Structure 1
């Protein structure tokens, strides 16, 4: 999978639907559209009005679900999730949705993001007698809801949300209601749509397109939605703040056919490529992008630089996950299996290789080597984002600075390490200009913490999991 090649992973994708006779099937298709957001586990829970029905497992969505499962997933409401493990790790128990059953009302939770104070809250809950069943930070919200003391479910959820910090796009399904909430900074994407008379919620709008739903709007930061047979109601659980949607959603994570905060991802990436060409021009014969997330930026770079864009690298779409124990030799072979240089395009040419980011540098080094082995006379690497020099605490697996090549080496040293003839990154100002400069409202912004160290929420070093303290 490309996520294994790139070395950068996002936590998950959420999909929910209310009021559709084929709720489980629609959720299955919606999760297919979100598969790029998580490949380690998938799950769907449905409600028939009286009971919640769950099926989940480790693996890709089409590995976890076969036809037989849908006969047991009864109901007109469903909540689905695809997972990439960050905080709490992998394993079946952590695969979402998480279901919590009680005598009065059961609930299923699905979460995209990361709670920066989850470790402290878990210690507090355990001291008060809670017995946690998973190592996922998502479970915390269920215990907080049950301990809130509020009888109305929306009030209990709002109370619980006021105690958590970090990035979160939550969907919570009970027997008779669906709840949707986005953190006060709107760090993660979450949108609402309609499919006939049914309400649909998804991490990305590309899921609406796949099932034929109509986009309505994005969930607002600090907003809690309640969806049931009476329609949809909304309330705020937090004061409005300037939105700081994760910049890596534009750079890498989201599909190019999705719209984020009113901007098309493909168009944004093309603009990044054009900006990069103006900031870091180079004499070359062809421009190529690393499939898939870098292609849009590569096209933009080629247009602005007036250098032909070519498919210099081809992704093998039939390579699945491998369970072979990793070694240096096998890693090299793995890259060759997943990406192939087109010798007839790059041989004897000066190549501009556009990529979206460099995290650890190992993959970029291997791709540069592939291009040179295929006959490229020069390989000039252009990165359509700034250097990643700080860890992300909001749901991306860059847990400490020791893993980040740009935290330990300057640009020239990185160039030498990856074997490129030249290397340049998009500036932070260039990235912001590409994403937010044309907006009319000052309420829109992006989170650049991994580039600048300016985190939009308070970080609590003493309460983070050990992995984040490196």
Structure 2
């Protein structure tokens, strides 16, 4: 059976990464490079669409960018000076080629390609209404609702149709769209999902993270503002803000885990923020131990910060193999258990007889933490403590993150002491929500809405959740019907 690696399966997973470029001779090749840099944001599938001035060309495939877009014949099949690409995990829509983006449709105004990072939280309601009006969907992706809203809009120009469509959706989106008229990039009014703009010679680039600009040698210009739409036509950029002004709420978990540490998110170095979170964690939850050990790789910056603040030595007590993919064959329970050590193995000579504190970015289901604590004890650790560089994850995300159902979140079912017993650690502590804001250079104020979307920790969702609420009502009716029958 082919299955997800057990260490990877217990992480919150960012939905997607997007990259677009207009005005470059080797557009599709540059998009492929940019997608390589964004591979951590989505590893199920990848796609690139290009435009040569007359025709759109698309190549989509399951799996990683490498192996699918590093062949000359693939890139030659994507000609043109304009291209956009997408790497994907799935939350809405099955894992199938028909859901791989960019999605493309021939509209009355011409070809329209779209790459989307985020999640439309009223997509099911919109889809039902569109189907009643005669729309025929080709995928199960929430992104396709945007295409149909554009296609059925009564407005005259494509830009007005696009704005009309976005005013009907709720949730989170960073979008890159390609049309015969030019490239469009936009970010939802709350700025939940990130999007940046760069420049390479005369070409304009849009990407989910600055690291993708670095990889292609582009200059970072700025972040796209929440609620901003940028249109690029023949090398000229136009910026408009067609939505009502609202307080921005960018995703706080981009700083904790999703973004690469070498990226800049909304003006802050991700690496520096993660070190600051670790230092704050050392202040809030000190412990007498011999070694600070990161859970690789995402726990490393926070562990450095914890070690520097506490004065306790930092050591690589867990060695990660970078030659194991996300999936591998697991024919039985015994081999499945041994397979864990393919990716993470204890540095036994370092750990034996030592008191250690493990630093990780989050606890989701708790299965990974349990296995790592067990690994440390089997390696001879005298004590195993755990510190988490985010508050307890108690709520599901509906904005483009692959979160388990709330009932499967360990922190939704247990208090911290119960969680400690579950993972068999000697102690367990999380950074506080106020401490997380402090590490970001902010003060979390109680008199206003939070400066970030921190709903996965607090349950304070920044938008309505139409589809979720409708399902909850349906579930209540179903329960009532079962009781009556």
TM over 0.5: yes
Q: So what's the TM-score if we normalise by structure 2?
A: 0.93
Q: Which residue of 2 aligns with 1:446?
A: 452
Q: Which residue of 2 aligns with 1:164?
A: 169
Q: Distance between the aligned counterparts of 2:273 and 2:450, measured in 1?
A: 15
Deviations 1:251-274 (CA, angstroms, capped at 9, x unpaired) = 111000001110000000000000
Correspondence 1:192 to 2:194: no
Q: So what's the TM-score if we normalise by structure 1?
A: 0.95
CA contact (8 A) 1:37 1:83 kept: yes
Q: Distance between the aligned counterparts of 1:84 and 1:238, measured in 2?
A: 29
CA contact (8 A) 2:117 2:193 kept: yes
CA contact (8 A) 1:332 1:366 kept: no
Q: Which residue of 1 aligns with 2:462?
A: 456
Q: Which residue of 1 aligns with 2:483?
A: none
CA contact (8 A) 2:356 2:383 kept: yes
Q: Distance between the aligned counterparts of 2:188 and 2:378, measured in 1?
A: 47
Q: Which residue of 1 aligns with 2:56?
A: 52
List structure 1 segments (4+ residues) > 6 angstroms apart after TM superposition. Answer: 465-470
Q: Distance between the aligned counterparts of 2:199 and 2:471, measured in 1?
A: 38
Equivalent residue of 1:119, what SS? helix
CA contact (8 A) 1:286 1:309 kept: yes
Superposition map of 1:387-402 within 5 A: 387-402=392-407
Question: Could you list the runs of 5+ residues in structure 2 that have no partner in the other structure?
Answer: 480-485
CA contact (8 A) 2:259 2:270 kept: yes
- Offset, 1:54: 0.3
Q: Distance between the aligned counterparts of 2:311 and 2:321, measured in 1?
A: 28
Q: Which residue of 2 aligns with 1:259?
A: 264
* Structure 2 residue corresponding to 1:13, chosen from 9, 14, 17: 17
- Offset, 1:467: 12
Q: Which residue of 1 aligns with 2:342?
A: 337
Say which is worse superposed, 64-73 or 324-333, in terms of deviation. 324-333
CA contact (8 A) 2:107 2:151 kept: no
Superposition map of 1:312-331 within 5 A: 312-324=317-329, 328-331=333-336
* Structure 2 residue corresponding to 1:377, chosen from 375, 378, 382: 382
Question: Could you list the runs of 5+ residues in structure 1 that have no partner in the other structure?
Answer: none
Superposition map of 1:3-402 within 5 A: 4-65=8-69, 66-102=71-107, 104-324=109-329, 328-402=333-407
CA contact (8 A) 2:299 2:361 kept: yes
The alpha-carbon distance between structure 1 residues 2 and 25, as it changes in their structure 2 partners (threshold 3 A), is: farther
CA contact (8 A) 2:10 2:365 kept: no
- Offset, 1:72: 1.0
Correspondence 1:417 to 2:391: no
Equivalent residue of 1:106, what SS? strand
The alpha-carbon distance between structure 1 residues 265 and 437, as it changes in their structure 2 partners (threshold 3 A), is: same
- Offset, 1:313: 1.1
Q: Distance between the aligned counterparts of 1:307 and 1:271, measured in 2?
A: 16
CA contact (8 A) 1:243 1:445 kept: yes
Q: Let me know the Cα RMSD of the aligned residues.
A: 2.1
Aligned pairs, number? 468
- Offset, 1:302: 0.5
CA contact (8 A) 1:87 1:136 kept: yes
The alpha-carbon distance between structure 1 residues 171 and 3, as it changes in their structure 2 partners (threshold 3 A), is: farther
Equivalent residue of 2:14, what SS? coil
Say which is worse superposed, 459-468 or 360-369, in terms of deviation. 459-468
Equivalent residue of 1:42, what SS? strand
